[in-house]
Structure 1
Amino acid sequence: MSGDVHVRICERLGVKLPRATRLICHCRTRQEAEELKSALERRFADCHLLLHPAKTKVVYCADSNRRRSYPHIHFDFLGFSFRPRMAKNRWGRIFTCFLPGVSPNSLKEMRARIRGWRLPQHSPLPLEDIARSLNPVLRGWDQYYGRFYPTELRRLYEYFDERLGAWLRCKYKQLKGHRGRSLRKLNEMAKQNPKLFVHWQKLGRATVG
């Protein structure tokens, strides 16, 4: 079917595809996309294989120049969610662009891992030891998911700093039961040592408080 449809295969996220079946095919029109999908389904059936029913779909890359109405205008791929997002051009004008950003499922998994660290239970440790232990993980997340639309990671940083606030409330008796006071204390610590955590290096402060 090499001559039937003009298709581009997208592998521009800077990583190798985990499996050959994880591909993004760009077509010029919806008709071409539907024809390609049908051709792939037939070819897979000939090989006694099946396209994943939930992950295989035709998506319209809506933006400021593509304003038609379609059933699907977003999809997830390699931990990113591709969808229309607000962006600003070099003249400061706001427009809509079809961009990747960390997906909600990826954020959920990362928050679950942060909960698994059980920071409040490690109150005897100094904050420097916690930073030394966790920064490699935070840096890995930032380097991968922060490459595209990094503002989406702010919710993750806020959650992590909330857990640090809980760590402070367990560590210091005068902060116990005082969420606002503990988060203000955390912000003071971040301003005094902005390079301690990966996300503090970017903001110069904690994301909460």
Structure 2
Amino acid sequence: MYCRDGNRKNDYPNTSFDFLGYTFRGRLAKSKRGIYFNSFSPALSGKAAKRIRDKMREWKIGRWTDAGIEDIAERVNPALRGWWNYYAAFYMSECKRVIAHLNDILEKWAARKYRRFKRRRAKARDWLRRMAERAPEMLYHWTLGVLPSAG
């Protein structure tokens, strides 16, 4: 396996590998002096990201119309915390992108639970955003700054 980075510039067919849920490959990094360079480093792998999103879908949160957002938070926060603690050690932006998928699921849940959002996903998104701003500690990923999109 050839590990291409700023010091190794040759071209080889395989320049990355997966190990323990991380993909190791060349990525942009910043030196202590503030200079950007190509470094060989890990980040959340595509397979691990797919497993996380699949697990979120398995929860079928959209069908929990009898549950409140507090009940959902109680159930999903341990998994979110575990994923974050393991995968965000390197390149937390990759982990944030995957965990943000939960906001889309919650948006669909709100549109299904509350009649006033029926066929109005944008209103459900706005409501979820306001909820995240009022109580950012409710869901673990909100405390990390992974909030629902503004619109």
TM-score strictly above 0.5? yes
Q: Which has the higher contact order (CA 8 A, sep 6+)?
A: 2
Distance in 2 (alpha carbons) for counterparts of 1:153 and 1:176: 31
Which residue is 1:133 aligned to?
Answer: 75
Aligned residue in 2 for 1:68: 10
1:170 offset after TM fit, Å? 0.9
Determine which structure has more spread, i.e. the larger CA radius of gyration: 1
What CA deviation, in whole Å up to 9, does each residue of 1:18-47 have, x standing for no partner?
xxxxxxxxxxxxxxxxxxxxxxxxxxxxxx
The answer to whether the 8 Å contact 1:169/1:175 transfers is: yes
- Judge conservation of contact 2:44–2:95 (CA < 8 Å) in 1: yes
Give unpaired runs (5+ residues) of structure 2: none
Match of 2:32 in 1: 90
After TM superposition, the score normalised by the length of structure 1 is 0.68
Q: Percent identity?
A: 36
State yes or no: 1:78 paired with 2:20.
yes
User: What TM-score results when the alignment is normalised by the length of structure 2?
Assistant: 0.92
Q: Note if contact 1:60-1:70 (Cα within 8 Å) is conserved in structure 2.
A: yes
Deviation, structure 1 residue 207: 4.1
Q: Is 1:200 matched with 2:142?
A: yes
The number of aligned residues is: 150
**Aligned equivalents of 1:103, 1:119: Cα separation in 2:** 25
CA contact (8 A) 1:87 1:95 kept: yes
For residue 109 of structure 1, give the secondary structure of its aligned residue in structure 2: helix
Contact 2:80/2:99, CA 8 A, preserved across alignment: no
The residue number in structure 2 matching 1:161 is 103
CA RMSD after TM alignment = 1.4
CA distance in 1, matches of 2:108, 2:33: 42
Question: Structure 1: which 5+ residue stretches go unaligned?
Answer: 1-58
Distance 1:89 1:192 in 2: 38
